[in-house]
Amino acid sequence: MLKTLIFTDLDGSLLDRDTFKFDEIKDYLKKLLSKDIFIIPNTSKTEKEILEFNNELGSNLPYISENGAAINGLDLLNSNLPKELILSRDKDNLINIFKKTVPENLQNKCKWLSEMNKKKQSLIFGLEDEKLKMALDRKYTIPFIFEGNKNEKNRLFKIVKNNGLALQEGGRVINLTDKVNKAKALQVFVRFFKKNNKEVKTIAVGDNYNDLDMLKTCDFPCLVFNDKFTLDEIPIKNLIITNKPSPLGWADVIKMALAKINKN
């Protein structure tokens, strides 16, 4: 029997870009879950933030946190599968490599959020109090703002990559990560899921640069409106797009993707 997995970014894709709310589509999400369609948050958010989302939805969803660093909840789909898969080294290990290999002049242009005061952190993340605390409670990724020019930024990305790490650029910050991403975590998740379900179709929903690899990896890639880039920047075949922003845009692309699956 065909199983459908929806891997979704949260901020700007499923959640409203400014308010982080999804009330308008909550009933639709519950309807999908009741039809045995699986929704898997695949996001740069932390474990605590995703658990808060699960709590607001009122469902215990499996999830991928911190840009593909860890997979949680495979056991919710099948009790024989692991509860947690960690794909990344811890953040202390990553920052040590970064400091040893990146030239000082480039390091000085990296403004780490952990070293900023709460007011600055709040302005960047658009969060306050407990929600800000959850967003900063990271195990595998280190968010920062880069204050250099484009050439310096490209150089930084290259140096980091050559030393076995990665930089993931989202809507608000750049994250220093291990050599993991949303696409690799999606592939690992699907590989485990297929041990018990041979026929699987995957949908992925994103809205930003750090989602593109994930979109290229799935069967039905979906892009929610974001005025940051144009479609010719996104060389993805069969891309399903909407001109509606999140959260209504999320429901829009999912309906189009499910219609395609049902035709096949």
pLDDT class of 1 with cuts at 50, 70, 90: confident
Residues 201 and 146 in one domain: no
Residues 241 and 259 in one domain: yes
CATH number at residue 123: 3.30.980.20
The candidate with the shortest Cα–Cα distance to 207, out of 171, 180, 251, is 171
Q: Containing domain of residue 135, as a range?
A: 91-178
Domain count, the chain: 2
Residues 14 and 79 in one domain: yes
Is residue 264 over pLDDT 60?
no
Residues 258 and 146 in one domain: no
Higher pLDDT, 230 or 71: 71
Residues 71 and 147 in one domain: no
- Predicted pLDDT of residue 172: 83
Tens of pLDDT, residue by residue over 159-180, are: 999 999 999 987 789 999 999 9
Residues 64 and 171 in one domain: no
Residues 67 and 25 in one domain: yes
Tokens for 183, please give them.
Answer: 């696409």
Q: What is the mean pLDDT of the chain?
A: 94
Residues 74 and 192 in one domain: yes
| Residue 142: strand pairing partners | 176
Residues 138 and 79 in one domain: no
CATH number at residue 215: 3.40.50.1000
Asked if 176 and 165 count as a contact pair (C-beta separation under 8 A), the reply is yes
Tens of pLDDT, residue by residue over 108-149, are: 999 999 999 999 999 999 999 999 999 999 999 999 999 999
